[in-house]
Amino acid sequence: MNPHQAATHEPPLTGVDTAAFSCPSCNGEKVSLFHRVEAFPVHSTLNMKTRQMALEYPRGRIHLGFCPQCGFISNVGFDPDLIHYSSQCEEPQWYSPTFTAFARSQASDLIDRYGLYGKDIMEIGCGKGDFLILLCELGNNRGVGFDPAYVDERNFSEARKRVTFITDYYTEKYRDYGADFICCRMTLEHIHSCGAFVRMLRASIGDRETTVFFQVPDVTRILRDCCFEDIYYEHCSYFSAGSLARLFRDCGFHVLDVRKAYGEQYLTLEARPADTSTNAARTFENDQALLAGFVGDFQERVRRKMERWRSLLSAFHRQGKRVVLWGSGSKAVAFTTCLGIQREVEYTVDINPYRQGTFLPGTGQPIVAPAFLCDYRPDVVVVMNAVYVTEIRGELDRLGLHPEILTLESPFRKENPQ
């Protein structure tokens, strides 16, 4: 057996004793396991300097459990001690014009709707600080950002002098850092004890006038469309619109809004601390039965989808076609690890210069710049996130390349440029 073909969805999970697991969101005790990947690289965004490091990087268990009470999904096999976020972690999105335009539009919208001019903004999990800096630039705001992966050398904005960055996790010891607006984007899904975290944040806010803005991946889409590429070790917590809103209401917030964003991949929540009782749930939040339905046959649907991908990539390989992935983030790690991809894909492309020259965690493909493809001349490009397909097609056109472009949503039809 191939030692790196570590992901498995066999045997079925029936009969697994889940009595020991309680829900990290609502403390419910009926969590049931429904999906597992036995050996997944614990870091997807950490730069791997050598192929050997990429292949041999420590792996952990993904055992997804569903709480029928609140709809929350958690990796009950998660070990937080395996995770070490540092400046060597690289989130590639900000090099994409598509993502930058989305973030700028989102920042402008929040500034307009909440009157964020000359205010104090806090960001929990600010990454390299790009979004916080944007909020402070556009609204002349002051900021404080928390993230162990922050790197100051890359920050050249005039707003930098109004922002304090703390290279640490946000915990209750920082409760004196009050703010008019607290944002936390793509971070809550990395926190296993999410109930305890949101309660800690609510206690830290106290009776201050504060609005909170959270953004997480939407698990409803992942379950409905079998997006196995969106399940990885660093994401130990998975939310739907309902389970996200329920968590905040349970922790003493008045939920102002829950929306989908970015091609329906993200959920955003806006809330304010409530004095006594929180506002009533809206109809769409009652999604536990819908989620239970998706969870019921998820393992079998994912198995079928992965089989189709393996067959397709094997066929390309037999035909001598050169296949590359575009995107080296967590989706690529999940895609290659779960499918056990080896020689079927030789390279993965990334526009982030800090990713280029490193290797994909798990399966070890070299990460290359788009210009590399001029010599390599791929026959097929598999785009890891369909939201970037227009941008990628434009880049390939500029390079004079016209490979077949596949997305993960539509694996067996060619993308139509029109």
296 in helix, strand or coil? helix
Least Cβ distance, residue 197 to Zn ion (angstroms): 15
Tell me the C-alpha to C-alpha distance, in Å, between residue 215 and each of 188, 262, 339.
8, 11, 28
Least Cβ distance, residue 264 to Zn ion (angstroms): 23
Cβ atoms 84, 56 nearer than 8 A = no
Considering only 21, 72, 181, 233, the residue that binds Zn ion (CB under 5 A) is 72
Considering only 25, 47, 215, 237, the residue that binds Zn ion (CB under 5 A) is 25
Considering the rule CB under 5 A, would residue 292 count as an interface residue with Zn ion? no
Name the residue nearer to Zn ion (CB basis): 28 or 366: 28
Spatial CA neighbour of 59 closest among 36, 28, 38, 81:
38
Amino acid in position 84: H
Contact segment (CB under 5 A) with Zn ion among 64-72, 81-89, 99-107, 355-363 equals 64-72
Contact segment (CB under 5 A) with Zn ion among 10-18, 60-68, 280-288, 406-414 equals 60-68
Least Cβ distance, residue 16 to Zn ion (angstroms): 18
102 in helix, strand or coil? helix
Per-residue b or e along 261-271, where b marks 16 or more CB atoms closer than 10 Å to that residue's CB:
ebeebbbbbbb
Cβ atoms 126, 106 nearer than 8 A = no
Question: How far apart (Å, rounded) are the C-alpha atoms in residues 206 and 201?
Answer: 9
> Per the structure block, which two tokens stand in for 89?
């972690």
Question: How far apart (Å, rounded) are the C-alpha atoms in residues 115 and 75?
Answer: 38
Name the residue nearer to Zn ion (CB basis): 25 or 215: 25
Binding-site residue total for Zn ion (CB under 5 A)?
Answer: 8
Contact segment (CB under 5 A) with Zn ion among 23-31, 136-144, 208-216, 226-234 equals 23-31
Specify which residues 405 forms β-bridges with. 381
Looking only at residues 147 through 186 of this chain, which bind Zn ion when binding is defined by CB under 5 A?
none
Name the residue nearer to Zn ion (CB basis): 239 or 309: 239
Considering only 13, 26, 274, 290, the residue that binds Zn ion (CB under 5 A) is 26
For residue 207, how many other CB atoms are within 10 A of its CB? 7
Name the residue nearer to Zn ion (CB basis): 30 or 322: 30
Considering only 7, 37, 46, 67, the residue that binds Zn ion (CB under 5 A) is 67
Contact segment (CB under 5 A) with Zn ion among 6-14, 28-36, 139-147, 392-400 equals 28-36
Query: How far out from the chain centre does Cα 305 lie?
Result: 21
Considering only 23, 54, 247, 408, the residue that binds Zn ion (CB under 5 A) is 23
Specify which residues 26 forms β-bridges with. none
400 in helix, strand or coil? coil
Question: How far apart (Å, rounded) are the C-alpha atoms in residues 319 and 329?
Answer: 28
> Per the structure block, which two tokens stand in for 275?
């004095």
Least Cβ distance, residue 288 to Zn ion (angstroms): 9
> Per the structure block, which two tokens stand in for 346?
């030789």
Least Cβ distance, residue 384 to Zn ion (angstroms): 30
Considering the rule CB under 5 A, would residue 211 count as an interface residue with Zn ion? no
Considering only 70, 179, 333, 351, the residue that binds Zn ion (CB under 5 A) is 70
Considering the rule CB under 5 A, would residue 28 count as an interface residue with Zn ion? yes
Contact segment (CB under 5 A) with Zn ion among 58-66, 69-77, 161-169, 361-369 equals 69-77
Name the residue nearer to Zn ion (CB basis): 42 or 258: 258
Contact segment (CB under 5 A) with Zn ion among 15-23, 91-99, 219-227, 282-290 equals 15-23
Contact segment (CB under 5 A) with Zn ion among 19-27, 55-63, 256-264, 356-364 equals 19-27
Name the residue nearer to Zn ion (CB basis): 27 or 171: 27
Per-residue b or e along 213-236, where b marks 16 or more CB atoms closer than 10 Å to that residue's CB:
bbbbbbbbbbbeebbbbbbbbbbb
Name the residue nearer to Zn ion (CB basis): 69 or 87: 69
Query: How far out from the chain centre does Cα 384 lie?
Result: 13
286 in helix, strand or coil? coil
Name the residue nearer to Zn ion (CB basis): 99 or 238: 238
Least Cβ distance, residue 255 to Zn ion (angstroms): 17
Tell me the C-alpha to C-alpha distance, in Å, between residue 12 and each of 33, 181, 224, 299.
10, 45, 19, 8
Q: Is the peptide bond before 11 cis (omega within 30 degrees of 0)?
A: yes
Contact segment (CB under 5 A) with Zn ion among 49-57, 59-67, 112-120, 344-352 equals 59-67
Enumerate binding residues for Zn ion (CB under 5 A): 23, 25-26, 28, 67, 69-70, 72
